Amino acid sequence: MFKRFLYIVIYTIFICAVSIGCTVAYYQYIVLNSDAAPLVRVEDKKVARSPLKNSDVFVEIMSYGCHFCAINDKAVDELEKRLPEGVRVVRLHINNAGQSGLARYAPLFATLEVMGLESQYREKIYTAVIKDNIDLADDTVLNNWLEHNGIDVGKYHEINASPAVKALLQYMSAVSNYYDVSATPAFIVNKQWLAYQDRDFKAFGDQLISLLTRHKPLGI
């Protein structure tokens, strides 16, 4: 009995160590050693020309192929509850030609968003892409996945070809390129701040909320 308890304790410690190690590795090799600074203040003259809508003051740029977007997804939902009244988290999928690996699922995101299904299926998509290595950017594979998950395949492709999806893809591309988003998840606050996570999410969330109270460009 004692040995079994000891094995459980050791296994738990091992899992915690791996989790911490992955987080540290992310900060060190993805954030700190990338070309992206953890926090960038955008110049006022550039903010004035930002493609972001005035209502989109708290934006997460994510990707279905991003492991840390998946890990933080629930934490972002919790963070939204702490935002000032009237402010919501707007999720946009990265759609940057220079980040083709991360951007390849942008059409899937845009289509499900227009269909009103994106939040409902987001966790399943993360699991399919990241854990199960299912290439949902391949139409044949995607059709099978849609059917398996009860999504009308014909309706999906009808909406996928619609002006609304094209407009959303253009919007996500404009934002991704204008802010030169080089990694995900990235957060844009008040059009003025581009932030990449460089600490545990609770502390990082506190920082993002504090940015909401700093200088706000005209028009916001």
**91: phi then psi, degrees, rounded to nearest 5:** -95, 130
- Is the confidence at residue 24, as pLDDT, over 50? no
Question: Who's near 190: CB < 8 A, 6+ residues apart?
Answer: 57, 211, 212, 214, 215, 216, 217, 220
Considering Cα of 125, then 127, then 132, then 133, what sign does the dihedral take? positive
pLDDT at 15: 45
pLDDT at 156: 98
Is the peptide bond prior to 163 cis by the omega test (within 30 degrees of 0)?
Answer: no
For residue 145, give the nearest of 172, 126, 166 by alpha carbon: 126
Quick one: 90 exposed, middle or buried, by C-beta within 10 A (0-12, 13-18, 19+)? middle
CB 191 within 8 A of CB 42: yes
Find the range with the poorest average confidence among 28-32, 90-94, 214-218: 28-32
- DSSP per residue, 173-190: HHHHHHTT--SSSEEEET
Query: pLDDT tens for residues 143-160?
Result: 999 999 999 999 999 999
pLDDT at 10: 56
Average of per-residue pLDDT values in the chain: 86
The model carries a pTM of: 0.81
pLDDT at 187: 98
Residue 3's pLDDT band (cuts 50, 70, 90): low
- Is the confidence at residue 99, as pLDDT, over 80? no
CB 86 within 8 A of CB 205: no
CB 209 within 8 A of CB 57: no
